[in-house]
Amino acid sequence: MARDKEKRSCGQRLAEWRAFVWDPRSRQFLGRTGTSWGLILLFYLVFYGFLAGLFALTMWVMLQSVDPHVPKYQDRLATPGMMIRPRTEGLDVTFNVTQSQTWRHYVRALHQFLEPYNDSVQAARNAACVPGRYNEQPDDSVPNYPKRACRFNRSLLGPCAGLAPADDYGYGVGQPCVLLKVNRVINFFPGRNKSINVICAAKREEDAALLGPLQLFPPNGSIDLMYFPYYGKRVHVNYTQPVVAVQFANATANMEHYIECRLNAAGLRTDDERDKFAGRVAFRLRINRD
């Protein structure tokens, strides 16, 4: 019968651990000599350096095929999306007329969004284009030549322009304004040379009377063809996309209203159930009064 191994003391265990970390006799650190550690570090340095170089080479080759001005593949839908401003969570515009803290953030967001549309800014940066036709600007043998942008003056939005510093876009009197914008699409020619506009209505016909007549600015919610095509942010530096304002001057208070706005243009489908934002946007409005 083998004898039971003698139980090592704590000091012996500590001495063995110290010898493993650094053995002065064999000059080994953690069980390896300096040469062994050097070879291991050299291997990993070469291995990971090769991987980093391969990744950098792959990225460089890929970037040579990418145009910084126009996406190489534009497999998006033929109809651009729409969105509202002020930006809200869940497309829900809800506030209480008598409680300014419930709508002040909407006013600030609209002021901030419309700052680039100030008439003075537009006059300084953009050109007075010919309305009623596309603003095509060929490169004339100079690829990606900077393009001029057409003016969209903030004053076109009427009572929804918010030109006065204290203007509250109608939120303080229960007649709020909501801005509609069409997403930018490079080389997009909507309308087939015919006028385009935005139309808004209650999603349910039985709610139309409670929502009341809507006011659109510019009149009839029109979007002029001169703002198309868009050539991309690197070339069309000062491009200011057109917006349409809708004011709810007659909406019944303390009720939920579901509104849908659509882009009305020849050749554009806005009834695709697979994409709720293709050429349209639906949002909820509730105006509370104490």
Q: Do 227 and 163 fall within a single domain?
A: yes
Same domain, 113 and 149: yes
Residues 146 and 47 in one domain: no
- Whole-number pLDDT of residue 18: 74
d(CA 282, CA 92): 10
**Pair 230, 184: CB distance under 8 Å:** yes
As averages over each run of 10 residues, the pLDDT of the chain (290 residues) reads 59 72 74 81 93 94 76 67 90 94 95 94 94 89 83 94 88 96 90 92 91 94 94 88 95 94 89 81 94
DSSP sequence for 223-256: E-GGG--B--TTTSTT----EEEEE-SSPPTTSE
In a domain, 73, yes or no: no
* 168 assigned to some structural domain: yes
Considering the domain architecture, whether residues 140 and 55 belong to the same structural domain is answered as: no
Report how far residue 193's alpha carbon sits from residue 4's, in angstroms, rounded to the nearest whole number: 99
Strands of the sheet containing 28-29, edge to edge, are: 22-23, 28-29, 32-33
In residues, how long is the chain? Answer: 290
By the 10 Å C-beta count (0-12 exposed, 13-18 middle, 19+ buried), 1 is classed as: exposed
Domains in the chain, number: 2
Q: Which residues pair with 222 in a beta bridge?
A: 197
Is 74 inside any structural domain?
no
Question: What is the torsional sign of CA 94, 96, 97, 101?
Answer: negative
The reply to whether 60 and 190 lie within a common domain is no
Among residues 172, 180, 179, 175, the alpha carbon closest in space to that of 102 is found at: 172
Same domain assignment for residues 88 and 204? yes
Whether residue 25 sits in one domain with residue 120: no
Closest CA to 117 of 244, 279, 264: 244
133 and 223, same domain (yes or no): yes
The pTM is what? Answer: 0.75
Position 72 in a domain: no
Chain-centroid distance of CA 1 in Å reads: 80
Single out the residue of 278, 255, 96, 276 nearest to residue 176, CA to CA.
96
CA distance linking residue 187 with residue 91, whole number of Å = 28
Q: Is the preceding omega at residue 229 within 30 degrees of 0, hence cis?
A: yes
Domain boundary, last residue among 64, 90, 110 = 64
Residue 77 falls inside a structural domain: no
List the CATH number of the domain containing 225. Answer: 2.60.40.1660
The reply to whether 71 falls in a domain is no
pLDDT of residue 125: 93
Report which of 126, 125, 135, 115 is spatially closest to residue 231, judged by C-alpha positions: 135
Q: How far is CA 138 from the centre of its chain?
A: 28
Q: How far is CA 100 from the centre of its chain?
A: 28
Same domain flag for 175 and 219 = yes
Domain match, 192 and 86 both: yes
96 with 60, same domain: the answer is no
Residue 191 lies in a domain: yes
Classify 114 as helix, strand or coil.
helix
Tell me what pLDDT residue 6 has. 62
Instruction: Quote the distance between the C-alpha of residue 116 and its chain's center.
Output: 17
Task: Establish whether the linkage from the previous residue to 176 is cis, with ω within 30° of 0.
Answer: no
Give pLDDT, residue 76. Answer: 57
Residue 41 lies in a domain: yes
Closest CA to 16 of 27, 8, 6, 26: 8
- Residue 195's nearest CA partner among 264, 262, 257, 127 is 264
243 and 115 housed in the same domain: yes
* Domain of residue 263, residue span: 82-288
Render the burial of 267-284: b for 16+ CB within 10 Å, e for the rest. Answer: ebebeeeeeebbbbbebe
